[in-house]
Amino acid sequence: MKGMREEVVVLIGGSGGIGKASALRFAARGARVVLVARGRDALEAAAEDIRRQGGEAEAIPADVSDPVAVHRLAEEVAARYGRVDVLVYGAAVFYLAPVEALDLARARQAMDINYWGAVHAVQAFLPLLRQGRRKCIAFISSLSVPCTPAFFAAYAAPKHALHGLALSLRQELHPEGIVVSLIAPGPVDTALIEGHLHQDMYRLPLGVPVLTADEAAEGVVQAVLRRKQEWVVPRRFGAAARLSRAFPSLLDAYYRWTVRGWNQTVRRVTEQHRAARGAARQEGAQEDVTTSAPAG
């Protein structure tokens, strides 16, 4: 299973889950993979796994929310390889909450990583992609863009932004033969959603499967190899995604029909978060009064 011999594939968010599973697949096809993430240990372990299976892998730690760090990363890749054939952007954090009770620092962090990190990566790596042969940028998005449920705003809004970025970039890079792919997997059993899935804020409507990281990774690889602009995983959900995009109220209705007590759950969770936030604000205000009270 070769076909990418000597190609340089940079996977941002490559230390675990879908990114690592994709890296293993690209490496098995002969690509030289560069794994990027913040956590050094997981990154080194992922690269070691790939090497143990006969692949070529390098680990470079970087935080993509920092544009300077991303440019430094691109310089390191340039010095080592001189070009990039495929850039896969999959760095993300996950945060669920009712909009009314969003922790703004966490929501902004999600925007910084899930969206702005992609902008930083594109700006830093485009000169190297121009030198590459395959000329492909693959953004790992999410089925939660065409099908956005309650409590997903902080996670899905940056993914919606990523779609906007991809649509514009696609036209800008078309004359140069650089393809921009958006891969939209449904729920995948990875560390990202551990502890969230099947809880009140993350219920799955009827018929939505939980994929393995390998299944999602195969989607990433196929989208890259076939130069697809949009690739929903599982494939059979492509039509549902298009339908939901055209008629968003269908998704709302589907949740209400198939998730038992969905309206009541949404209401209860929202009220709980509102109360908790109110209590936290009051506590903060009390503390302010105490700490700013004049001595004596």
∠ at Cα 119 (230, 31), nearest 5°?
A: 60
What is the closest distance, in whole angstroms, from the C-beta atom of residue 220 to ligand NAP in the complex?
A: 9
**Min. distance of Cβ 235 from ligand NAP in angstroms?**
15
Interacting residue with ligand NAP among 17, 55, 98, 149 (CB under 6 A): 17
Told to check if 149 binds ligand NAP by CB under 6 A, we report: no
Query: Is there binding between residue 181 and ligand NAP (CB under 6 A)?
Result: no
> To the nearest whole angstrom, how small is the minimum distance from the Cβ of residue 13 to ligand NAP?
3
Active-site entry in 81, 115, 155, 202 = 155
Please, are residues 188 and 213 in contact by the beta-carbon 8 Å criterion? Answer: yes
Our finding on whether 22 is near ligand NAP (CB under 6 A) is no
Site string for ligand NAP, 102-121 (x = CB under 6 A): -----------x---x----
Q: Find the DSSP H helices in the chain.
A: 17-28, 40-52, 67-81, 104-110, 117-131, 153-173, 213-225, 238-246, 248-258, 262-292
Q: Is 93 in the site for ligand NAP (CB under 6 A)?
A: yes
76 in contact with ligand NAP (CB under 6 A): no
CA distances from 9 to 32, 78, 135, 156 (A): 6, 12, 10, 26
Catalytic residues: 155
Chain contacts with ligand NAP (rule: CB under 6 A):
13-19, 37-39, 42, 63-65, 90-93, 113, 117, 140, 142, 185, 187-188, 190-193
